[in-house]
Amino acid sequence: MSTHAMPEAARRDQHSRVSSRATPGFLERLSDTAGGMLLGVGVFALSFYVLFTNEGRALRTTTSLNEGLSKVVPLNPASEPDFLNNNKLVHLSAVLQTSQPLHDPNYRIEVKAVKLKREVEMYQWVEQQESRDYQEDGETKTETTYTYTTEWRSEVINSRNFDKEIGHVNPSAMAVESVTVVAPDVWVGSLSLSKGLVDKINNFQRLHLGPLSPDPFLTVHGDYFYHTAQPNRPEVGDVRVSFSYAGLSGEETYPGSAQMVSVVAMQKDGQLVPYKTTSGDHIEILYLEELSAQEVFEREHQMNSMKTWALRAAGWALMFLGISLATRIVHTLVDWLPLVRDVVNIGLRLFALCVSCSLSLLTIAAGWLFYRPLVAGGIAALALLPVLLARSRAPTKKTE
């Protein structure tokens, strides 16, 4: 069936292309492996840096959070700012407030929120590739299958890079641009939020449009404005627009109630700004729910713990990858012997696994010794305690 006879929403096209190359010789494979070996050494060194510095970061963050909890001052959001709290770390929970609604005059959208996002998508051709290698007539051949489908995409896809541009041409630009509008002034209680705190308000939700038709050249279908009269049968180049909002504010009932937030930051005159701890970290926390100061810092400790373990896992993965790349040259030396090659491959994987696990644990331990010498010393003393007790209870040898 010809693709032109199919509906625009179901367009699909496919073709394959076969390329061949001479099977690389031993020296060529060895040369390629040597390059991977150098990369592996670099990744291996990077893993030590990630694992070691992560322990210091985790300790510094924990110390800063403990300091913050001991110094935080709770505020009453209904009261005026107390300038006695200037330069102090404060906590308050209240609904967001903005000075005026955000609006998009082109689509007659108006929402009282901290952020209003206009998302634009264009119906375009998309190329997908699938390749498989096989040996034939002493050559390595690659069969690549190119599949073309039409999809809604938020970025412009350059069809000039397609393997087959004829019949799959996309427009070079969108008729409408995506944009995010941010309220110039945002308050919690009687204190305004810094830019860093406003940046944390990203709980975007789709704006439900309803049965509106603000413009005769637009069609409302679902929660989209379509720049076409037939949204169910779009053509390449058609555009649709949706809106989402974050941080509802004020007393408005549409599209919902105002967002409650909990903030921990430093009060400076009438604004909430970052608080610098003695360890050098900055505390500037915002949660999109009502939490006490204790709950806020508990959440931050949990996030710190999760980040610490995630970086430990990433450091181990980098070390495993580095060792695998660095030892790949051994596999290349015996890859002409199928049975030996498979055994060596399994052995190299086990070697990389064992060495990366051991070195990761040693690096983390070294980080503890460097950043937490007292804790590490205490753990070592506890570990040696059974040995010392056993020796102290052993009977003394009688001297003649």
- Please state, as a whole number, how many other Cβ atoms lie within 10 Å of the Cβ of residue 149: 15
Question: What SS3 string covers 109-128?
Answer: EEECEEEEEEEEEEEEEEEE
Q: Report which of residues 83 and 62 the model is more confident about.
A: 62
User: At residue 61, does pLDDT exceed 60?
Assistant: yes
| pLDDT tens readout for residues 64-86 | 999 999 999 999 887 887 888 89
| pLDDT tens readout for residues 22-52 | 555 545 555 666 667 788 889 999 999 999 9
- Report the sign of the C-alpha dihedral through residues 260, 264, 269, 274, in that order: negative
User: At residue 338, does pLDDT exceed 80?
Assistant: no
- Specify the pLDDT at position 180: 96
Q: What is the DSSP letter of 293?
A: H
Q: Are 261 and 143 in contact (CB under 8 A)?
A: no
- Specify the pLDDT at position 159: 93
Q: Comparing C-alpha atoms, which of 113, 89, 92 is closest to residue 102?
A: 113
- Please state, as a whole number, how many other Cβ atoms lie within 10 Å of the Cβ of residue 341: 15
**pLDDT (average), residues 370-394:** 68
User: At residue 139, does pLDDT exceed 80?
Assistant: no
Q: Comparing C-alpha atoms, which of 152, 174, 173, 176 is closest to residue 104?
A: 176
- Specify the pLDDT at position 8: 45
155 pLDDT band (50/70/90 cuts)? very high
The C-alpha angle 199, 200, 201, rounded to 5 degrees, equals 90
**pLDDT (average), residues 373-389:** 66
What average pLDDT does the chain have? Answer: 85
For strands 271-273 and 191-193, give the pairing. parallel
The C-alpha angle 220, 222, 228, rounded to 5 degrees, equals 40
| pLDDT tens readout for residues 273-297 | 999 999 999 999 999 999 999 999 9
User: At residue 327, does pLDDT exceed 90?
Assistant: no
| pLDDT tens readout for residues 347-364 | 878 888 888 888 888 888
| Backbone torsions φ then ψ of 26, nearest 5 degrees | -65, -45
- Specify the pLDDT at position 373: 80
Element (H, E) at 364: helix 338-371
- Specify the pLDDT at position 343: 72
**pLDDT (average), residues 196-212:** 88
Q: Is 152 exposed, middle or buried (0-12, 13-18, 19+ CB in 10 A)?
A: middle
- Taken as a whole, the chain contains a residue count of 400
Q: Report which of residues 15 and 253 the model is more confident about.
A: 15
The pTM of the full predicted model, rounded to 2 decimals, is 0.80
Q: Comparing C-alpha atoms, which of 179, 176, 211, 185 is closest to residue 101?
A: 185
Least confident of 57-61, 312-316, 379-383, 390-394: 379-383
Helix/strand/coil for 377: helix
- Specify the pLDDT at position 118: 96
What lies within 8 Å, CB to CB, of 348 at 6+ separation is 324, 327, 328, 330, 331
Q: What is the DSSP letter of 174?
A: -
Q: Is 81 exposed, middle or buried (0-12, 13-18, 19+ CB in 10 A)?
A: middle
**pLDDT (average), residues 391-397:** 62
- Report the sign of the C-alpha dihedral through residues 357, 313, 41, 343, in that order: positive
- Specify the pLDDT at position 250: 79
Q: Are 96 and 256 in contact (CB under 8 A)?
A: no
| pLDDT tens readout for residues 85-95 | 899 999 999 99
Element (H, E) at 106: none
Extract the tokens encoding 321: 């990858």
User: At residue 141, does pLDDT exceed 70?
Assistant: yes
Q: Report which of residues 8 and 137 the model is more confident about.
A: 137
Helix/strand/coil for 323: helix
Least confident of 280-294, 332-346, 360-374: 332-346
Dist. CA 118–CA 206, nearest whole Å: 10
User: At residue 257, does pLDDT exceed 60?
Assistant: yes
**Residue in the structure block whose two tokens are 């800063």:** 64
Extract the tokens encoding 391: 């020796």
